[in-house]
A and B are shown apart, each in its own frame.
Chain A
Amino acid sequence: MITAAAAGLYVCHDCGKLSRVADLPEHPDCPRCHAALHLRKPNSTTRAWALLLAAYVMYIPANLLPVSTIVYLGHGEPDTIFSGVKVLFQTGDVPVAALLFFASICVPMLKMVGLTWLLLTVRFRWMWRPKDRTVLYRLIEIVGRWSMLDIFVISILVALVQLQALATIHAGAGAVAFCAVVVLTIFAAASFDPRLMWDLLDEERP
């Protein structure tokens, strides 16, 4: 059992090619695809923390400000993410409500809490179940895109419901903040290097 880093090998992040650290200059490019080579993603935890903190900050306006306003026969009704889901539950569209609850409330929360936890385990050198934490990381990467659901729904509603006095739907500032949360967490997840979790184990092994 030996890792590429322990064997003195760069793994290209773009094309997967292995190259010997000893054969290359100080800031090397991949001999095959010319991507910059690093043993680990550069400043992985610092970048991930910064993006994640920014996502936490944006999460506040994302939930407090209205994401959309429906003006129906002159009456405006601003909806936040939470009130939108609540209204759907009350009007009986339970499957749609559950879907939006999952995509707009569960997924961003799980992503942020999950990434925070992964970063903490690396920071405090906890060895607990690296394989399961790697699975969690993959899950965070895969599921993140589904949070864009609410943004797409708003864009479609805004496009279709433009009937002036009768019924109009406007986007709200909350949607901007929410979209920022989604994008920031996608970048935060991409900055985190799961190999850092395994490095601790490899260091401990004699």
Chain B
Amino acid sequence: MEPATSSHGLDELVACHDCDLLHRREPLERGERARCSRCNAFLYRRPKDMLHRTLAYTAASLVLFLVANAFPFMEFKIAGRTQVGHMITGAAELWGEGYAFLSFMVIFTSVIAPLFMILCLGYLTAPLIMGWRPPGMITVNRLIGHIQPWSMMEVYMLGVIVSVIKLGQMADIVLGPAAWAFAGLMFTLTAAIAIYDSGVIWERLDADAGKHHAAKRDRRLTGEATS
């Protein structure tokens, strides 16, 4: 990207989030990304079919999320006894032992934040595809950015693998349907989040605001003409 000079309008400019350098916005090819010329930070991109692709992965994520939370996650077999664990059993046990903070962090990062991401992405993309603006679009678009770092499914999945290896020395471990669903969810939701681009939503809002202004101006002009 070219550094900007002071003669450009605000809409033609973009600032780097990491080093604050101003750049002139340049049209991109579909799928291209613009990066900062000084510190190489990501500036903006032009994703292909952002809304449709995000919604497709989000819908798949919702189904997998429900399976992952409804069915047994793992079975632990030792000396003829079987212990079944669900997605929320860990957080529930920690709560029971009096570790409220740990329990909250585990359930928040592995269940609540991913669910929140799925619901927010679906809430934005589905109505926009059908051609109407969901209420609270601005708030939801902002919230997604704040919640996203706390959705840690990939770390949880690695935790599952480590646990299976650790417990494998002690006993037999059988992965339940939820574990496979969760593994799938990790991929679909990561894909949905990677494809989703808040910039597209902001541009949509700007375009709508522009139309709104134009309509108001037209009404005023025609109003003046008739009176």
Contact = CB atoms under 8 A, between A and B. Distances in A.
A175 B38 CA distance: 41
Nearest to A8: B6
A162 B93 CA distance: 9
A160 interface: yes
B177 interface: no
Interface string B34-66: 000011110010000000000000000000000
Interface in B152-201: 152, 155-156, 158-160, 162-163, 165-167, 169-170, 198-199
Interface residues of A, number: 64
Contacts of B38: 1, 131, 198
B30 interface: no
Contact of A11 (B17, B85, B89): B17
B149 A186 contact: yes
Contact of A160 (B91, B155, B163): B163
Nearest to B110: A152
B78 interface: yes
Interface in A1-36: 1-5, 7, 9, 11, 13-20, 32-35
Interface stretch (A43-51, A93-101, A110-118): A93-101
Contacts of B21: 1-4, 198
Contact of B94 (A3, A171, A197): A171
B97 to A, nearest CB: 6
Nearest to B107: A155
Interface in A144-196: 145-146, 148-149, 151-163, 166-167, 170-171, 175-176, 179-180, 183, 186, 194-195
B226 interface: no
A68 to B, nearest CB: 11
Contacts of B85: 156, 159-160
Interface stretch (B8-16, B122-130, B213-221): B8-16
Given A155-B93, A156-B90, 19 more contacts: A2-B22, A9-B10, A9-B22, A11-B20, A16-B44, A16-B202, A32-B138, A91-B169, A99-B158, A152-B90, A152-B110, A152-B158, A153-B163, A155-B106, A156-B160, A159-B93, A160-B163, A162-B83, A176-B99
17 contacts: A13-B17, A15-B141, A16-B44, A32-B138, A33-B142, A33-B202, A130-B19, A148-B105, A149-B159, A149-B162, A155-B91, A160-B83, A160-B89, A163-B83, A166-B81, A194-B18, A198-B21
Kindly list the 10 A-B residue pairs having the minimum CB-CB distance in the complex, ordered from nearest: A152-B159, A155-B90, A4-B15, A159-B89, A159-B90, A3-B20, A198-B19, A156-B163, A160-B76, A159-B85
Interface of A: 1-5, 7, 9, 11, 13-20, 32-35, 88, 91, 93, 96, 99-100, 130-131, 134-135, 137-138, 145-146, 148-149, 151-163, 166-167, 170-171, 175-176, 179-180, 183, 186, 194-195, 197-199
